Amino acid sequence: MRDDAPEQSSLRVLLRPPMLGLHALGVVAVVFTIVMGLWQLGVYDTRQEHERADKQDVPTVPLDEALGPDDAFSGSANHRPVEVTGTFAPADEQVWVSGRSLDGEDGYWLLAPLVVRDTEALLVVRGWSPTNDRLPAPPSGATTIDAVLQFGEDVGAPLGADRTTDTVRIPALANELPYDLYSGYAIQTEPAPGAGLETVPPPDPDVSWSVGLRNLVYAVQWWVFGAFAVFMWVRMCRDVVRDARGRRGDDGQGRVI
């Protein structure tokens, strides 16, 4: 008898008509749990997208209704569209922010103080440029813009002689500019910036991973059920083969007798 006789004997047992029904049931169970898990994962993704859309679909309000000059920046102000009226500071008080990409191309944001009243100013990202070789002049006189508020960024490089830094770090910039800065900054969306600049699209609102958590848990549960079905399927097949060998006997050399 060849060495692979036990495997051939086991295969014959597993391919008996009653066992084919078990195999079909196992395949159906595994496929079903995979499909249900993917469906619940899809529901989770949809809940995330709807939450993000809800945060984006909010009315534009005057700046003072979203953020005061002395207010700490809050989560409710983050990503809030606002209308701001003020006067842009002179061109030489603007700042380049490096490491900003647009459509896959590296470049710079042009950050400009927009004086809202007296010495109170909101830092506004006027637009994007591939180079920082000159500071384009801002609009003159009173200007009204639409913008989206953003949290200030973390520690970065100090402002260089070419008026370039790598983060919108408001406390650091407050030491470089003669204004009382708002606790957040804004990305201008309307009107188009002009002056060779391109409009910067605001980032999508942050959505907590826990939104739709129940559906994510359900997806994991379905996949756990699928793994358990595979485990039981394999175990039952082993038990059937062992019982068949026990009933028929084995001569110790792989020959069922």
18 falls within a domain = yes
Q: Do 178 and 92 belong to one domain?
A: yes
Question: CA torsion, points 56, 57, 59, 61, in degrees to nearest 10?
Answer: 0
68 falls within a domain = no
Q: Do 115 and 170 belong to one domain?
A: yes
Q: Do 114 and 153 belong to one domain?
A: yes
Q: Closest Cα partner for 184 from 198, 208, 202?
A: 202
Q: Do 243 and 145 belong to one domain?
A: no
pLDDT of residue 254: 47
User: 1 CB contacts (<8 Å, ≥6 apart)?
Assistant: 253, 254, 255
Q: Do 84 and 43 belong to one domain?
A: no
Q: Where are the alpha helices (DSSP H) in 179-212?
A: none
Number of folded domains that form the chain: 2
Distance set, CA 49 to CA 18, 58, 79, 194 (Å): 47, 15, 16, 32
User: 60 CB contacts (<8 Å, ≥6 apart)?
Assistant: 81, 82, 83, 146
pLDDT of residue 1: 45
16 falls within a domain = yes
pLDDT of residue 98: 95
137 falls within a domain = yes
Q: Do 17 and 46 belong to one domain?
A: yes
Distance CA 187, CA 145 (A): 10
For 8-64, the three-class secondary structure string (H helix, E strand, C coil) is: HHHHHHHCCHHHHHHHHHHHHHHHHHHHHHHHHHHHHHHHHHHHHHHHHCCCCEEHH
154 falls within a domain = yes
Containing structural domain, residue 95: 80-190
Averages of pLDDT over runs of 10 residues in the chain (257 residues) are: 58 77 89 94 85 73 92 87 95 95 94 94 96 91 94 86 92 93 95 90 77 88 94 86 70 45
Does this model's pTM top 0.75? My answer is no
56 falls within a domain = no
pLDDT of residue 122: 97
Q: Do 108 and 182 belong to one domain?
A: yes
